[in-house]
Structures are given as C-alpha cells and as structure tokens.
A and B are shown apart, each in its own frame.
Chain A
C-alpha cells in the first residue's frame, strides 16, 4: 500500500470540525506553570540541603504516621445529593480515588465533578479558607473547593459555568457523604488476568475499568470492550463475558 493511500484514506478528516468546549484555559496553564517552576526551585533547594547533609538532621519521623489510604474498587464509599443546581450522573470507583460526575438539573453547559482522594495520595492544597463543610476543613483554591474529608485525605469539588461557581461547589460539597458502603453489583461475569482499576456506574449501567485503560460493558447481552489493548485480547475479553442474573458482587470467574 503506497503512502498516497494514507492521504486519501484520511483525507475526509481534514474537514473534521472540532466540537466547541471551554476546557482549555491559558490563565490556568500560567498558574500551573508558575507552581511547577516554584516546585523546581524548591526541589533544587532540597537537593542542596541533602548534598550539604543538612536535611537528614532537619527531618524527623512523623510521630503519628497514617498509612497510605486506598479504596476497594468494587465498593463505593461516597455519594452526592442534588445540590447547587446539579445532580449525580456517574459514579466512578477506583483504588486511590473515587469520582462523581454531576449534571445540571435544568440542563445546560455547566459541569460539576467531585474527586475523593484516599489519604495521603495528594498533598495539602493551598487556598482561601472557606466555611467548614459538615465540620470538615474547606479551602477555595481559585478553581476548585478542597475539603479535608478525613485526616490527610482531600476531596475536590469543581463547578464550571455559573457566575457563583464557588458557592455552588460549597453546596455540592455539603451534599457529599463519605461513609457509604455500596457494594457494586455487576450484571455480568468475566474471565481475565487484567487488574481492575475501578467501576463506572452510570445510572446502573456498569462498566469495568482495568488498569490498562480498557473499559468493559454489557450491551444487548454481549460484552463490549474498548481500549488500547490488542484487538485479539479485547475480543477474548468480550467473549468471556457472561450475563449474570441476579448481578454479582464479584464479577471475576
């Protein structure tokens, strides 16, 4: 096959329209870039201290270490109510974080999301102090609301598209619950050696997400796998899917 065929095959994509979105912000890039530069300077300083033998003297062990947190990807521990003009649409579990995607109750282009990180998986955010959320410390970073939902564990709430994003984020945060124990029920079983990373639950439509990025769903009674794995492996995964009625809490055979 000649390379001219490449131009011919892909030619129609030259006129593809890129859907509009407000997802890129130059000012956000500048803010993040400045933080990265500052971290580089700090890291250089730490290196100098290590080289000079100063740091080991300054560092003391944490007197009350908290173990690195983690979630069971088949158990959802968070929930959100309808608040701030949004209602939950998708729940995503994961080993280090769980997420909620919310949609505007009255339709529209606005968006909101929640990321709940396990303990010590993200550093302490910087920002302006906000009223506590259900007794939990809260900060406004300029782009999202950070809530310390447990010791050294932070949840982030973002709202975009309203003039009062910050206040709405606070209301969404107040609707969050962090002590749920919802065992995910999967309407199919599967046979694979891949590691489960999390589960996407869109109104009861359950997709398994593996650590290699492959997503597996049940469509019209058959498995549908999408991702970057070789086609043969995706097909093998799809073929191993068996509908389960009633749904199961452990989908792996």
Chain B
C-alpha cells in the first residue's frame, strides 16, 4: 500500500524533480543520477516524508542536498555509463541565449547555484530556501549575492 502511494507520488513528481535537477546539474545524465538517488532516499524515509507538512518541500530538500552531496564525491564527476555528449548547434537565438545562461550558471559554485535556482527559478522565499539547504537565512542572502555576482561575471555583465 505504502509502495503504491510512493509510486503514485514519485511518478507525478518526476517532471519537476528532473527539471530541478537539470537546472542544478546542467547535464541530463547527472540530473537523472541525482533524481535516482533522491527518490531512493525518499523511499527509505517515506513514512516520515508522508507525515511532513509540505511533502513537495520535503522532497525538494532531499533533491538539493543529494545534488550538493553528490558533487563532493570525486568519482561522481565521471559518469559510469555516460554517452559522449555531442555539441548541439541550433540556429535559434532563444536557444542560444538560454544555453549561454545555462553554461554561465554551471560555472557558479554549486552551493551558490542551488540558492539561485531555488530562489529565482522556483520562486522560493529566503526562509524556504534556507530550510531546503539546511542553512540560515543570512547564508541564503549572502550566497544569493555572491552567486549573482559570479553569474554576472560569467555572463560578462558589467552593471
């Protein structure tokens, strides 16, 4: 019964979990790895998760922490079964703009990147981002400022 509930929830949540992970990782294969680990952790903590006030927030926190933890493991940076990514060249200005920003975001340190993604792409208030990242609101604010500065530098924005 619990397995059915879990399966139902995760199946419905997969699109936003993959999207969040993709924005954090910038690589669909790594994003899938992070989601896979996160939903496995969710399964082992399903009883507690189900009792949470906000299940989505609980799961998002698992996902973000999984991303940050996996980044610290050296071998996680070399995918076991990755296919060689081919550079896509698409003559589409919107696509190129997005790619430019995506690449710049990937060059922002992971902790700051997580703050930027949560706050500006998922519209989380400072307090919720702090809860997801298990840090203080002050840290979220300082990481936001540092992350935005790093992003601007990467994009070559001077103002």
Give me the interface of A with B, judged by CB distance under 8 Å.
Answer: 1, 3, 5-7, 9-10, 12-16, 18-19, 21, 23-26, 28-30, 32-34, 36-37, 40, 89-90, 92, 94, 96-97, 99, 101, 103, 111-113, 115, 158, 197-198, 200, 202, 209, 211-213, 215, 227-228, 231
Contacts and interface: CB of A to CB of B under 8 A. Distances in A.
A93 to B, nearest CB: 10
Counting contact residues on chain B (CB < 8 A from A), the size range is: 35 or more
Contact of A21 (B29, B44, B74, B80): B29
Nearest to A99: B80
Nearest to B79: A101
Contacts of A7: 120
Interface string B101-130: 110010101100000110111000000000
| Of A15, A198, A228, most B-chain CB atoms within 10 Å | A228
Interface in B121-153: 121, 144-145, 148-149, 151-152
Nearest to B43: A33
B155 interface: yes
B10 interface: yes
Contacts of A231: 107
Contact of B3 (A30, A36, A158): A30
B80 A197 contact: no
A1 B152 contact: yes
30 contacts: A3-B120, A5-B148, A6-B119, A6-B151, A9-B148, A9-B155, A10-B117, A10-B121, A10-B151, A15-B94, A16-B19, A16-B23, A16-B98, A16-B102, A18-B19, A19-B28, A21-B29, A23-B33, A24-B32, A25-B36, A26-B10, A26-B11, A33-B41, A89-B83, A99-B80, A99-B81, A101-B83, A209-B77, A209-B78, A227-B77
B86 to A, nearest CB: 11
A30 B19 CA distance: 21
Contact of A12 (B6, B75, B80, B97): B97
Interface in B1-38: 3, 6-7, 10-11, 14-15, 17-19, 22-23, 28-29, 31-33, 35-36
